[in-house]
Amino acid sequence: MATREIISSGNELSALAAVDAGCRFFGGYPITPSSEVMHEISDLLPEVGGAAIQMEDEIAGIAATIGAAMSGVRAMTATSGPGVSLKAENLGLAQMAEVPMVLVNVMRGGPSTGLPTRVSQGDVRQARNPSHGDYRSITLCAGNLAECYTEVVRAFNLADRFMQPVIVLTDETLGHMHGKAMLPTVEEVKAGIVPRKKFEGEPKDYRPYGVGADEAAVLNPMFQGYRYHFTGLHHDAKGFPTEEIETCRKLIQRLEDKVMMHTDEIELNEEFMLDDMTGAEGEVLIIAYGSVSLAAKEAIRHLRADGIKAGLFRPITLWPSPANRIKHFTDMIKNVLCVELNIRQYTEEVERVSSRLDIQGLYKVNGRAISPYEIVTKVKEVF
């Protein structure tokens, strides 16, 4: 695979990824620590015929993004936790109307204003269900600088494949980290673009929401002769509001099934130093994601040097969770430690999937990163 070497920050790489992946509209509002995504993409988009606009607030930012996506272009917004809270209602609209878009959330401490300039992973639960109602969120989580790029690219392809918002979580550490990243070439990214499905038949026969029970809507670009209706209400095959019992039931069930029946297309994980795990006494499984996984890898190297066989399972797709792989490793390995910059937000999912209540945890919520030394110390203390 051809690669290119770029020295940049995570936020700048997220912006570059969007443009390389075909994004042509960005609607947003500045908020620490995500503002550099907007700064960078506002320079990049005009060079390729796109547009970036700073709206009056976070709500307007996502509204403009949804409007652009409805017109048929790839569109993105970026924010941090408080901004997601404000965007939540319109995220629900995009879920119901099946409008594809990407939202990058550079996580910081919370709730409320919290720690604006410090690192956190406090938005993991929020990313699972940012809006009310029944639907399935698709949430990816970058774990290094390169993935600030590659996961944004993947998010656009998943958004167009499943016709819904896709969230990419990074955090303050990754967003402001500046270093070398090995990226795929622009040609490779463009070759891998997954276009939206498009109805090619007679306009009179067009039913954008009249699709199979586990299929995404087919929304043709606006202004090309195909008429349909966008609404946040329950709707029929043409998108017009309805309260017909079976139509409503099938619609909501389809929003669930179009994701959960195709998780093999969404799931992505990293399994670090797990190949030699056998389930023997004393082995340790560390589960971590995002920037914390960088410290976990260093800790594992130290633990192995000390004679403790440890390995890392890192979900890159957080939601839907990689339930089968989590259960595989938690069934095999007795000693499990979840490491998070929150209080048990993903540990609860590990417990649910594994049916285990003896999962150990290392958590920090003071805005400071978790060091490899802290992980090594915790492993030796509890196992």
Distance (Å, whole) CA 126 – CA 351: 18
Which class for 125: exposed (0-12), middle (13-18), buried (19 or more C-beta within 10 A)?
A: middle
Which pLDDT score is estimated for 44? 98
Lookup: tokens for 4: 């290119």
DSSP state of 264: G
CB 269 within 8 A of CB 322: yes
CB 255 within 8 A of CB 241: no
DSSP state of 215: -
Lookup: tokens for 276: 């030699």
pTM here is: 0.97
Lookup: tokens for 156: 């656009």
Q: Whose CA is closest to 175, among 9, 342, 365, 295?
A: 9
Q: What is the pLDDT along the chain (383 residues), one digit of tens a residue?
A: 578 999 999 999 999 999 999 999 999 999 999 999 999 999 999 999 999 999 999 999 999 999 999 999 999 999 999 999 999 999 999 999 999 999 999 999 999 999 999 999 999 999 999 999 999 999 999 999 999 999 999 999 999 999 999 999 999 999 999 999 999 999 999 999 989 999 999 999 999 999 999 999 999 998 889 999 999 999 999 999 999 999 999 999 999 999 999 999 999 999 999 999 999 999 999 999 999 999 999 999 999 999 999 999 999 999 999 999 999 999 999 999 999 999 999 999 999 999 999 999 999 999 999 999 999 999 999 99
Which pLDDT score is estimated for 1? 58
Distance (Å, whole) CA 285 – CA 354: 13
How many H-runs (helices) and E-runs (strands) does the chain carry? 13, 14
Domains and CATH numbers, the chain: 3-191 (3.40.50.970), 270-382 (3.40.50.920)
Q: Tell me the DSSP string of 316-334.
A: SEEES--HHHHHHHHHH-S
Interacting residues of 352 by C-beta distance below 8 A, sequence separation 6+: none
Beta strands, E only, the chain: 3-9, 23-28, 51-54, 74-79, 101-107, 138-141, 165-171, 178-184, 269-272, 284-287, 310-315, 317-319, 335-340, 360-363
CB 107 within 8 A of CB 120: yes
The three-class DSSP label of residue 294 is helix
Which class for 226: exposed (0-12), middle (13-18), buried (19 or more C-beta within 10 A)?
A: buried
> What do you get for the CA distance between the two ends of the chain, in Å?
41
CA distances from 225 to 71, 200, 205 (A): 12, 11, 12
The amino acid that residue 80 corresponds to is S
Lookup: tokens for 261: 């029946």
CB 260 within 8 A of CB 320: yes
DSSP state of 45: G
- What backbone phi and psi angles, to 5 degrees, belong to 24? -130, 5
CB 25 within 8 A of CB 56: no
CB 102 within 8 A of CB 76: yes
